[in-house]
Chains A and B, each alone.
Chain A
Amino acid sequence: MAISDAYEAVIGLEVHTQLLTRSKIFCGCANEFGAAPNHNVCPVCMGMPGVLPVFNRRVLELTIRVGLATHSQISERSIFARKNYFYPDLPKGYQISQYERPLCVGGYIELPTGNGAPRRIQLARIHLEEDAGKNIHRPTASLVDFNRSGTPLLEIVSEPELRSAEEATAYLRELRSILRYLEVSDGNMEEGSFRCDANVSVRPCGATELGAKTEIKNLNSFKFVEKAIKHEIERQTAVLKAGGKIMQETHLWDPERGETRPMRSKEYAHDYRYFPEPDLPELYVPPELVEQIRAQAPEVPAARRARYARDLSLSAYEIDVLTQEREVGDYFEAMVAAGIETKAAANWTMTEVLRASNESTETFSNAVPPPAQTAALLKLVAQNEISLNAAKTAFAAMCKSGQDAATTVKALGLAQVSDEATISQVCDQVLSAEADKVAQFHAGREKLFGFFVGQVVKAMKGNANPKVVNEVLKRKLAMAGRPSPSDLPSSGA
């Protein structure tokens, strides 16, 4: 796993994720992305003199949900702390966070490893804090937008148990997937609702002590996380190999140059002077509340993967694709529940549904038809009402129009013709128009059967039921002279 055989990497991740609450963590301002600057602010989140924080109980419920899903211990009593530092985007000059006695302690996240046992990554803690505002630098001035100030944040800290950049990315993806399954975060790295700092060190293989670490900040995409960690492991390994020493420092990832570079020590050498927040009482979590949330807990990706593997005959790859996003798996399951055969539902979801959703700028549920309508469409295929290709055409149309399956099929004239009389008439026209070829067929050019089928289907604009066309053509060609070949190829529309 390590870059060099002689060294191994030790990686721990600190993830900050914004919570999907209606209001901020300590005031009633709206928690939303994209509002006009300094629109969602009040005296509390602006740090006016004399204001006091009031804890948003919804934040507690969402955090407990995450704690339970990651097998963490939920502290019955936890406390808030002040983390002191000066920065223009931090209105109070301190961030309300948790230090001693965080809300969730321990726990783990399991990463799928193909067919083997999942790899378990231990968590150190999950704690609550408030987000800061945002500095915007212009050539002539620096501006501050406080809309984000007071957005509820979870900090999820892993133990230093990750061993490669790939594993770190897999951990991040799994964590993001869990948060999205639980509907506590949208996990959007570009908008900053899911952010990652990485602690990276390298040590000789077999060593038990940790080497000096660097903390890498500014990792706002999965790609950057992987690249930055790889780069840092290589850099540190090279330094150690050359007999150098790793300095404990903070680096910034520079995506332009594809490298990390150290920040000035002044920029990060803080003594945060944590102390218990006197404006907020101890946070008490009644055991009943934990049990209530546990009882209503949504399924997590690992549980869904296990269930699919146990109950459905799907490949590891299919399970992986279907479970990455909760709504994709939900869609697939809804189709199965509506009577579509598992494999067909899985194939359709993995190809047509994901394609439509990926090509759309809409949210998943707005990008694709309701699963019941997709199921209705696939039933028309099963009942030979339409062809598979027609279904794909209809599905694409349904994604755009929002109309139901039956209406769409009708409107586009995709209904498959199975009526023998109609098909027989077209067959007659084709056979009489192609009398030469009929003669050649009877003379032994049996391959021409496929040609006749094709002509009929073409004449019927692709809507003929190929099975019926086959049968009718066989009959007519046999009647026209010879007994039909017993092993005529089926055309397959």
Chain B
Amino acid sequence: MNDELFRLTINDARAALRKREISAVELTRACLERISATEPKLNAFLTVAESEALTQAQAADQRLAGTQPAPALCGIPLGIKDIFCVRGMRTTCASRILENFVPPFDATVIVRLREAGAVFLGKLNMDEFAMGSSTENSAFGPTRNPYDLARVPGGSSGGSAAAVAADECLASLGTDTGGSIRQPAALCGIVGVKPTYSRVSRYGIVAFASSLDQVGPLTKTVRDGAIMMHALAGVDPRDSTCSARPVPDYESALNGELRNLRVGVPKEFFVEGMQPAVDDAVRATLKHLEAAGATAREISLPHSQYAVATYYLIATAEASANLARYDGIRYGFRAEAEDLNELYHRTRALGFGPEVKRRIMLGTFALSSGYYDAYYLKAQRVRTLIRKDFEAAFNTCDVIVTPTSPTTAFRLGEKTQDPLQMYLSDIFTISVNLAGLPALSMPCGYDSDGLPIGLQIIGPAFGEETILRAADALERSGSIARRRPSAV
């Protein structure tokens, strides 16, 4: 097994580490070697922190050898989306404007993971400032899908999804503003959890859209997702929007039970133009759920048809302010200029990529005097309606099941010339962010090209245990035969 340590799940690695069957250094080396072997094909990592990772692994081994019980993720090698500030480790957000930015502080979740004993292998590729659905918007080249190198891994957490799918790391951190964890998890055939808004601290995560951004794990299994969630969630005095609700032991919720689970199936989410294989796989999974004792019924989320439009007003408005700080004054890229206005213009013109500029302009417009009411304010009203749709739906069901993405992984370049088509690849995930709800994506089949299909399970606010329990039971039932990526 020694040469394939990188294939371990967190759950299995944890057991092996505690029994001292393997060491954290061995496990970390295995991942680093795997990274060396696969990266030329994938480009999932923007920074590989080999020496830091080995130092952390050595410290983990000491803790594992000690008399005190080792913390939850002791010695587990993780990849970190390059949107998380890690003290002393370059954090670019896949943008030229932060190409050489080294944060002097840790994001709160990074502090938590350090305390939990995790090992950081490096920083993962993404769409610039998390704006995109294919990781093609990275300033440092796209990441490729481990199932087909001609295809995208999804985005914006494309590096995070590809790295886990390709066994470069045991799990990774992502962020999800409109689907950026779930959609790449679906396209790369792994598990991605987007928690309830406010469940996990946002402190130290480069902000895209503050009222939508949420941190979550990308993992090989649902159980690993539960383990990671427990390490990440909880109150943070540095984030005033972070919930003080106690964090449940998500793992203990995984009792394999599906009986009496009331599954809502929104009729609006099975749209024309959806890839038939996706439709088939989701419906087959629903049948399986029913066979295991769940009940499925059709529900309606009538305002979800406005979700994409609403999202692209609110998210861009917030982004236009959040990205104003990249001005070349205090840190990051600064262009040569003769005066202040030229400094601003040139720094931002050269530092940001086209999609980021497009969204800054869209958001600036939506907030402008004379347009605010018609765009931003109206979008906020629709957001409330979307949230109410979900609240009403959860009166009659425990979880809502939908496809994660209308298609499997598309080809690189296929949608780059048509932003609207790209935006529509998040059509099933975006309304969940607008409502602030927890949701996950898990594999539920493969299309005729062998590309993974994702199933989305949505829960009510703070219903992480419910969705994890359902997903874990489904995973353990063996109804979905997992296939390893063929291209790496």
Contact = CB atoms under 8 A, between A and B. Distances in A.
Given A43-B105, A54-B240, A271-B368, A278 B318 contact: yes
Nearest to B239: A52
A94 B329 contact: no
Interface in A256-305: 271, 273-275, 278-281
B237 A43 contact: no
A55 interface: yes
Given A275-B321, A275-B376, A279-B210, A48 B107 contact: no
A50 B85 CA distance: 7
Nearest to A271: B369
Contact of A86 (B93, B330, B344): B344
Nearest to A266: B341
A362 to B, nearest CB: 38
A47 B238 CA distance: 14
A91 interface: yes
Contacts of B211: 278
B141 interface: no
Contact of B202 (A52, A91, A275): A52
B31 to A, nearest CB: 26
B105 A275 contact: no
Contacts of B207: 49-50, 279
Given A49-B103, A275-B372, A279-B210, A84 B85 contact: no
A326 interface: no
A275 B327 contact: no
A280 B198 CA distance: 12
B210 A278 contact: yes
B203 A50 contact: yes
A92 interface: yes
Contacts of A94: 321, 324
Interface string B96-115: 00100101110100000000
A306 B302 CA distance: 64
A53 B238 CA distance: 7
Interface in B303-335: 317-318, 320-321, 323-325, 327, 329-331
A365 B230 CA distance: 56
Nearest to B202: A52
B205 A50 contact: yes
A51 B241 CA distance: 13
Nearest to B84: A50
A88 interface: yes
Nearest to A92: B325
B367 interface: yes
Interface in B345-388: 364, 367-369, 372, 376
A286 to B, nearest CB: 17
A30 to B, nearest CB: 18
Contacts of A93: 321, 323-325, 327
A227 interface: no
Given A273-B369, A275-B376, A49 B85 contact: yes
Contact of B367 (A91, A142, A144, A273): A273
Nearest to A135: B340
A46 interface: yes
B256 interface: no
Contacts of A65: none
A82 B85 CA distance: 23
A98 to B, nearest CB: 15
Nearest to B318: A278
B121 to A, nearest CB: 21
A52 B107 contact: no
Contacts of A54: 237-240
Interface in B71-97: 83-85, 91, 93
A229 to B, nearest CB: 29
A51 B344 contact: no
Interface string A426-450: 0000000000000000000000000
Contacts of A52: 202-203, 238-241
A278 B198 CA distance: 12
A48 B103 contact: yes
Nearest to A142: B340
A275 B205 contact: no
B206 interface: yes
A84 B363 CA distance: 12
A92 B324 contact: yes
Contacts of B367: 84, 273-275
A46 B202 CA distance: 17
Given A55-B240, A278-B210, A49 B325 contact: yes
A46 B240 contact: no
B463 interface: no
B266 interface: no
B116 to A, nearest CB: 20
B406 to A, nearest CB: 29
B386 to A, nearest CB: 17
Contact of B329 (A51, A88, A271): A88
Contacts of A86: 324, 327, 344
Contact of A51 (B84, B91, B203, B327): B203
A144 B105 CA distance: 22
Contact of A273 (B84, B238, B368): B368
Interface string B207-229: 10111000000000000000000
B204 interface: yes
A43 B104 contact: yes
Given A84-B367, A93-B321, A94-B321, A279 B240 contact: yes
Contact of A50 (B107, B317, B318, B368): B107
A460 B178 CA distance: 95
Given A275-B321, A281-B241, A49 B330 contact: no
A86 B329 CA distance: 11
A132 to B, nearest CB: 12
A144 B340 CA distance: 13
Given A43-B105, A84-B321, A273-B367, A51 B204 contact: yes
A54 B238 CA distance: 6
Contacts of B318: 275, 278
Contacts of B325: 47, 49, 91-93
Pick from B107, B344, B367, B372 the residue with the most CB of A within 10 Å.
Answer: B367
B240 A48 contact: no
A223 B243 CA distance: 51
Contact of B240 (A43, A88, A281): A281
A92 B321 CA distance: 8
A88 B207 CA distance: 20
Contacts of B205: 50
A142 B343 CA distance: 13
Nearest to A42: B105
Contact of B364 (A47, A48, A273): A273
Contacts of B91: 49
Nearest to B323: A93
Nearest to B365: A273
A49 B240 contact: no
B242 to A, nearest CB: 9
Interface string A36-68: 000000010011111111110000000000000
Contact of B330 (A47, A50, A279): A47
Q: Which 4 A-B pairs have the closest CB atoms?
A: A93-B324, A278-B210, A273-B367, A278-B211
15 contacts: A47-B330, A50-B84, A50-B85, A51-B204, A52-B238, A52-B241, A54-B237, A82-B321, A84-B320, A84-B367, A91-B330, A94-B321, A271-B368, A273-B321, A273-B364
Given A54-B240, A94-B321, A278-B211, 5 more contacts: A48-B103, A49-B207, A49-B325, A53-B240, A84-B324
Interface of A: 43, 46-55, 82, 84, 86, 88, 91-94, 142, 144, 271, 273-275, 278-281
